[in-house]
Structure 1
Amino acid sequence: MAGTVTEPTARTVTTLADGRELIYYDRGAAVPRNAVDRRPLDPRTPASQVRFDPVTGDHVTIAAHRQARTYQPPAEECPLCPSRDGRLSEIPADDYQVAVFENRFPSLAGAPVAAEVGGGGLWTAGPGAGRCEVVCFTADHDASFADLSPERARLVLDAWTDRTAALSALPGVEQVYCFENRGAEIGVTLAHPHGQIYAFPFTTPRTARMIGQAERHRAATGRNLFDDLVAAERADGARVVLAGEHWTAFVPFAARWPYEVHLYPHRRVPDLTALDEAQRAEFPRLHLDLLRRFDRLFGGGRTPYIAAWHQAPARQRAELGLHLELFTIRRAADKLKYLAGVESGMDAFVNDVTPEDAARRLREVAR
């Protein structure tokens, strides 16, 4: 099936009252964006640290100032809705299609500095340099990503791609991570449909493990792990949920979550910026189809989920293949999958649903 034909994306950049950047994305011609942020905001002074764990080799971000961030406000006080009727929000305009702005309570912010802080030796730390952004998918507070049209979903993809390119070029940024959390069960603090983008000053632990596995596979076989994985799942078919001309979605053989789907482009690319037009055009239909299937899994309603883009780091681009991971913490209509002693303590997952049954169920709820 052909993908969605879209008009070019217009990009309008402005600043908020405290100096943070705000970008409007519109399909077609640019919409005049003259609204000014009139809120009396103080300049930001985020003070996070990135500390190194000598036992695991992981980096951990310490961001105590985020304790004061906005937490589940009523709809009439939503900071992601447009500014209307005298109520001022993070979006000065009275309407928008897609908007991206620097997070007011970022885990990471600012340019890197050369000097380390901390005790040295086993205890090393540095400033929490990097950038955190909020991506508002729609001005409609009561909608969700699954409610978007293919054209609007493509606009979000264009925004993700544009921000990946811009953030990857910042000094000190090692990896860009675009993701969406949905549902109070996941821990979402704002109900408005939105996602986030993190520009990390380090390669995240999960990505480092995947790259290590891909390098070992290359050494053993001479081939790319992700190419072999997609080819094997497509050939087997037992865990394939849906497939298009340029993308395939499947439940991984060793899925950690009860319902977990990975969406891969057939032509391997390192990140969003490397997708071609055919891949971009087909993606919205498949992604929206998956999200709507998740919502039908448990008899209707909005299933809580995390949708996470895995992209190659800035300096390790040869082996990792771009893919989207979508999973829910719900294992039944009235049960959640909690990370208890085995998962949280040992990072050793136990799944309550076989991947083959999960794939079958996701195929059954297609329309």
Structure 2
Amino acid sequence: MKKFNSLDHPHKRLNPLTNDWVLVSPHRSKRPWQGQVEKATVDERPKYDPSCYLCAGNERAGGHKNPDYKGTFVFTNDFSALLTDSPEGGVDEGSLFQAKSETGICKVICFSDNHSLTIPEMEVADIRKVVDVWCEQFDELGSTDFINYVQIFENKGSIMGCSNPHPHGQVWSSSTVPVEPDKESVTQKAYFEKNGNTLLGDYLKAELEKKERLLAENDHFVALVPYWAVWPFETMIISRRAVQNILQLTDEEKDGLADIYKQLTVKYDNLFETSFAYSAGLHQAPTDGKDYPEWHLHMHFYPPLLRSATVKKFMVGYEMLATPQRDITAEQAAQRLRDLSDIHYKKQINK
């Protein structure tokens, strides 16, 4: 009788943060690829683009003009998904037709005045300025009386819905806790009440002992491929010290977050020698004034690229109708990323 081997046999893995399962089919990664193949596009941009609505001094929608900023720049999204003046109310027509009004504030953060850069090409000192802006916005928005959650995120690449290549991220703050952080609140609280430790603190300790899925680390943060990863090269950054939000980080830890952010994204770019697309975001405790000792600061990265700079992974068929599924195991993905150079491929080419 065959003995189960997670590197060869189909199996399900549990995500303890969401209580969702993912089907892993490692044997399928051995099949020949006859799917979609596209030509890679060369992404060379100027430091300043007169047509870019995020570049310094340029005009945005509605006649708003950007200042001649240097470094970072923050403004309220001209096309906010959430508004401060939405009237209270909703729809209550029995259990089948329910809707509730939602208010919030949405901001855009330009990471740099240099239009040609992305996070992996920025200096750590400049990324630290981005972290500082995250802290400022989390504090400002989280202190607003009707805001109970602040979601900081970055969409990189047009295939991840990024409408402008200028280096930037967003902050959407809302009156209620969104779906994914709410799931994590429930699971982390249950784990903390049962074990007396944070879920991610114990998970990180176990991963540091196993060393199978680690990618990069410094004194304050660790980047790894989570055991339950769904996307081909999905990763997480976890703080070594259990903090509820970025405002609790020391100056040294903020430097560490900037450093690990660069380390991880350089590996991403080096994987297929392209500006690697992803959606990434910080998950941290709600901002409703309550204490959340179970919450452990972390950052998710969900990249769509699968086999090359142009072959993308989509949720299709069984994944949309039944259960998310992946072929390459978390361990295989981690090995590929871990073996990559820490020097950005553009710098290697220019040597």
What is the TM-score normalised by the length of structure 2? 0.77
- Output the CA distance in 1 between the equivalents of 2:246 and 2:86: 25
SS at structure 1 position matched to 2:50: helix
Query: What is the aligned counterpart of 1:187 among 137, 151, 161?
Result: 161
Matches within 5 A, 1:1-367: 75-83=49-57, 90-111=64-85, 115-122=88-95, 123-298=97-272, 300-315=273-288, 317-333=292-308, 334-346=310-322, 348-367=323-342
In the alignment, is the contact (CA less than 8 A) between 1:111 and 1:171 conserved in 2?
no
Query: What amino acid does structure 1 have at the position aligned with 2:311?
Result: K
SS at structure 1 position matched to 2:188: helix
Query: What amino acid does structure 2 have at the position aligned with 1:237?
Result: K
Note the alpha carbon deviations across 1:84-129, whole angstroms, 9 max, x for none.
69x997553234210010001000010576x423245433434331
Give 1:146 shift: 1.5
Distance 1:91 1:84, change over 3 A: closer
Partner of 1:57: none
Note the alpha carbon deviations across 1:117-175, whole angstroms, 9 max, x for none.
32454334343310010000111222112221111100000000100011011122111
In the alignment, is the contact (CA less than 8 A) between 1:179 and 1:308 conserved in 2?
yes
Query: What amino acid does structure 1 have at the position aligned with 2:320?
Result: S
> Quick one: percent identity of the two aligned structures?
26
- Output the CA distance in 2 between the equivalents of 1:173 and 1:255: 30
In the alignment, is the contact (CA less than 8 A) between 1:108 and 1:129 conserved in 2?
yes
- Output the CA distance in 1 between the equivalents of 2:245 and 2:318: 32
Give 1:265 shift: 1.2
- Output the CA distance in 2 between the equivalents of 1:324 and 1:244: 15
In the alignment, is the contact (CA less than 8 A) between 1:180 and 1:194 conserved in 2?
yes
Query: What amino acid does structure 1 have at the position aligned with 2:158?
Result: A
Query: What amino acid does structure 2 have at the position aligned with 1:302?
Result: S
- Output the CA distance in 2 between the equivalents of 1:90 and 1:181: 23
Higher relative contact order (CA 8 A, sep 6+): 2
Distance 1:171 1:88, change over 3 A: closer
Query: What amino acid does structure 2 have at the position aligned with 1:263?
Result: I
- Output the CA distance in 2 between the equivalents of 1:170 and 1:254: 35
In the alignment, is the contact (CA less than 8 A) between 2:212 and 2:334 conserved in 1?
yes
In the alignment, is the contact (CA less than 8 A) between 2:54 and 2:66 conserved in 1?
no
5+ residue gaps in structure 2?
1-47, 343-351
In terms of fraction of residues, the more strand-rich structure is: 1
Distance 1:133 1:344, change over 3 A: farther
Give 1:76 shift: 3.4
5+ residue gaps in structure 1?
1-73
- Output the CA distance in 2 between the equivalents of 1:95 and 1:89: 17
SS at structure 2 position matched to 1:294: helix
SS at structure 2 position matched to 1:77: coil
In the alignment, is the contact (CA less than 8 A) between 1:258 and 1:329 conserved in 2?
yes
Note the alpha carbon deviations across 1:15-64, whole angstroms, 9 max, x for none.
xxxxxxxxxxxxxxxxxxxxxxxxxxxxxxxxxxxxxxxxxxxxxxxxxx
Alignment: residue pair count:
290
In the alignment, is the contact (CA less than 8 A) between 1:107 and 1:128 conserved in 2?
no
Q: Which deviates further from its counterpart, 170-179 or 103-112?
A: 103-112
What is the TM-score normalised by the length of structure 1? 0.74
- Output the CA distance in 1 between the equivalents of 2:296 and 2:86: 28
In the alignment, is the contact (CA less than 8 A) between 2:148 and 2:176 conserved in 1?
yes
Q: Where has structure 1 moved over 6 Å in runs of 4 or more?
A: none
Give 1:243 shift: 1.4
In the alignment, is the contact (CA less than 8 A) between 1:80 and 1:136 conserved in 2?
yes
